[in-house]
Structure 1
């Protein structure tokens, strides 16, 4: 399984490696919401959380589905600018100005990506234009609790108000903790971007992509970039460009923005992985047996990012609910899942800290 970027006709000057303050803020919010994904950031997360204003912490929970699952494409708004060659801003304010340039339709579709399961790499109607998709979005939001339902209702009823809310929230996060973090990280990210740009100029795209991640490869004959992930998707540079964005807070996530009509983006980690504690022999044997089935591997990829009901997983993976239930039972018996009830819905999620003890290769495989 893989994500593919067709680059036929892509000119070298249309390939750029540029840090994004807004994308890094998105990863900061993700790490604060899902610290189990980032064991190497425990000290930073603890420090930020300890001094976080309670009111800002409450606001952080209001729309956390935009960054908890991974992070929304809204954190890379430059990719949605119509000419498909825009670059991230040099400052957070410039990135937020790019976010303001997205249409209401782009903003809503990006915000509802993890709720609605809209057509992502293919053209199709959005939630503002299609009543059926709008109903589906609200039904799925309801399955995830009243907070997400309330936010989705407000978003669909008045996108401009939510857009203003989000910009103000991100500006307050910058003032509270991110400006200090960005001042520390931006030099590392700029240095990595210069290094990758130098590789592009001296040795070509294949060498630069190999330096990004061993999971990224270039087939020059087919004019295609392939990213090895437990998921499928396809996009193309068409008449636009290809953007590489480094992240220091994002490891182990290697993400590909492949939304239809947006500029393709590789968002890749530059920091070193943290140490992984060994598992006991008995637990390792039980858990590796549970993970030996390819369907359960794919389920783990979904469950690592968010909690899902059995019905949602059945729809996403094209299986029946009983089939999904049998696989979930095996994973749960191995101690790899957490389960919680919310009203009439039962939500399942991968226990990422437990998975981390199996080894960094597997963890990076399901999270990248």
Structure 2
């Protein structure tokens, strides 16, 4: 990998090294800051906003890409000697097994099963010929560009959770960088479902209803009496909560009882963090 890093031309190396600025033109094929004064100024402005160390790195990178490239290589080599060689021996068995499993799924069951095994957030739309990744950020790329070779690269990591990275840029084959599955990690909630749940709880009356429903099951009439609103109003609020999967319903004789799903609500914080970091 380090030898491949050495083979990159300066423009491509600098573009890759400046991705830390999270620029809005990522993947758009913007001019190189090495040759375009406007892009150079923009890169420096974005780096300055990130902090003095990032600014210093960017100035050095733009002034002398070759020396920075050599420094990056030495840093990786020093890390390998200090700790990463041992770490790699520990985790590589799991990563190789995961890659072999995905390859076998692709060969035996097809692309849909292979990408679905990467994450529940990755799905194949066979009719449209498109792989969809459920993330808060938006973007698109192609895996059939003849200029770089057709294909999509899947790279497992033992240290990336909860990040599910979709990496793409002009001249590069797209990559999905995903955390290997661990039994104790929950399946990611969809961004749409997370939004539904947060919006459902944002209403002050629904928060008051949740106060009742978190303690014990209630009928619609009981909730109406307790909160001073009509039964139809309660029903409308309950419908929103149930659509978001926050409330469960069961029947006891002629009574219909509603109760807050405490497990789902308790996971909202971690689901939100997983969603924004995915």
Q: 2-side partners of 1:187 and 1:212: how far apart?
A: 17
1:222 is displaced (CA, Å) by 1.0
1:261 is displaced (CA, Å) by 2.1
Given candidates 75, 82, 97, the residue that maps to 1:191 is 97
Q: What is the RMSD computed on CA atoms of the aligned residues?
A: 2.5
Partner of 1:167: 73
Distance 1:256 1:110, change over 3 A: same
Given candidates 227, 234, 259, the residue that maps to 2:133 is 227
Q: 1-side partners of 2:6 and 2:35: how far apart?
A: 20
Q: 1-side partners of 2:51 and 2:183: how far apart?
A: 34
Structure (1 or 2) with the larger CA radius of gyration: 2
Higher RCO (CA-CA < 8 Å; seq separation 6+):
1
Q: Is the 8 A contact 1:142 1:149 kept in 2?
A: yes
Q: 1-side partners of 2:75 and 2:51: how far apart?
A: 21
Q: 2-side partners of 1:136 and 1:215: how far apart?
A: 33
TM-score by structure 2 length?
A: 0.67
**Structure 1 residues without counterparts, runs of 5 or longer:** 1-94, 277-287, 294-355
When the two structures are aligned, how many residues end up with a matched partner?
A: 202
Q: Is the 8 A contact 1:109 1:118 kept in 2?
A: no
1:137 is displaced (CA, Å) by 1.4
1:358 is displaced (CA, Å) by 4.4
After TM superposition, where is structure 1 displaced by more than 3 Å over at least 4 residues in a row?
A: 273-276, 288-293, 356-360
Distance 1:100 1:170, change over 3 A: same
Distance 1:218 1:275, change over 3 A: closer
Q: 2-side partners of 1:107 and 1:272: how far apart?
A: 34
Q: 2-side partners of 1:245 and 1:291: how far apart?
A: 37
Describe the superposition over 1:329-350 as per-residue Cα deviations: whole angstroms up to 9, x where unpaired.
Answer: xxxxxxxxxxxxxxxxxxxxxx
Partner of 2:169: 259
